[in-house]
Structure 1
Amino acid sequence: MKIFNQRRRLIVNREVQYDVLMYVGIFVMSIFAVQALAMYIFLSRLEHVVSHMTALEFVAKYKVSILIYQLIPVGFGMVVGVYVFNKLTSRIVGPLYNVKRILHNAVETQQIPQEIKLREHDYFREEINDINVILKRRIK
Structure 2
Amino acid sequence: MKLFKPRRKMIVNQEVQYDVLMYVGLFVVSIFIVQIFTAYLFIEQVEKVVGSMSALEFLSRYKVSFLVYQIIPVSLSLLVGIYIFNRLTSRIAGPLYNIKRVLRRVSDVDADNVEIKLRQDDYFQEEVKDINVILKRKSK
TM superposition score normalised by structure 1? 0.89
- Distance in 2 separating the partners of 1:3 and 1:12: 22
Q: Which 5+ residue runs of structure 2 have no aligned equivalent? A: none
- Distance in 1 separating the partners of 2:113 and 2:9: 33
Letter in 2 for 1:118: L
Q: CA deviation at 1:116?
A: 0.9
Are 2:52 and 1:48 equivalent residues in the alignment? no
Please give the secondary structure, in 2, of the residue aligned with 1:25.
helix
- Distance in 1 separating the partners of 2:136 and 2:86: 33
- Distance in 1 separating the partners of 2:40 and 2:13: 40
TM superposition score normalised by structure 2? 0.89
Give the percent of matched residue pairs that are identical in Structure 1 and Structure 2: 59
Q: Which 5+ residue runs of structure 1 have no aligned equivalent? A: none
Match of 1:122 in 2: 122
Letter in 2 for 1:117: K
Deviations 1:88-120 (A, max 9, x none): 000000000001111122223221443211100
| CA distance 1:4–1:21, change in 2 (3 Å) | farther
Counterparts in 2 of 1:28-67, with a 5 A limit? 28-67=28-67
- Distance in 2 separating the partners of 1:6 and 1:55: 49
Alignment check: 8 A CA contact 2:38 2:69 kept:
yes
- Distance in 2 separating the partners of 1:28 and 1:7: 27
Structure 1's consecutive aligned runs of 4 or more residues displaced over 6 angstroms after TM superposition are none
Letter in 2 for 1:24: V
Size of the aligned set, in residue pairs, is 139
Q: CA deviation at 1:62?
A: 0.8
Alignment check: 8 A CA contact 1:15 1:123 kept:
yes
Letter in 2 for 1:94: G
Letter in 2 for 1:40: Y
What is the root-mean-square deviation of aligned Cα atoms in Å?
A: 1.9
Counterparts in 2 of 1:121-140, with a 5 A limit? 121-140=121-140
Q: CA deviation at 1:4?
A: 6.6
- Distance in 1 separating the partners of 2:108 and 2:139: 17
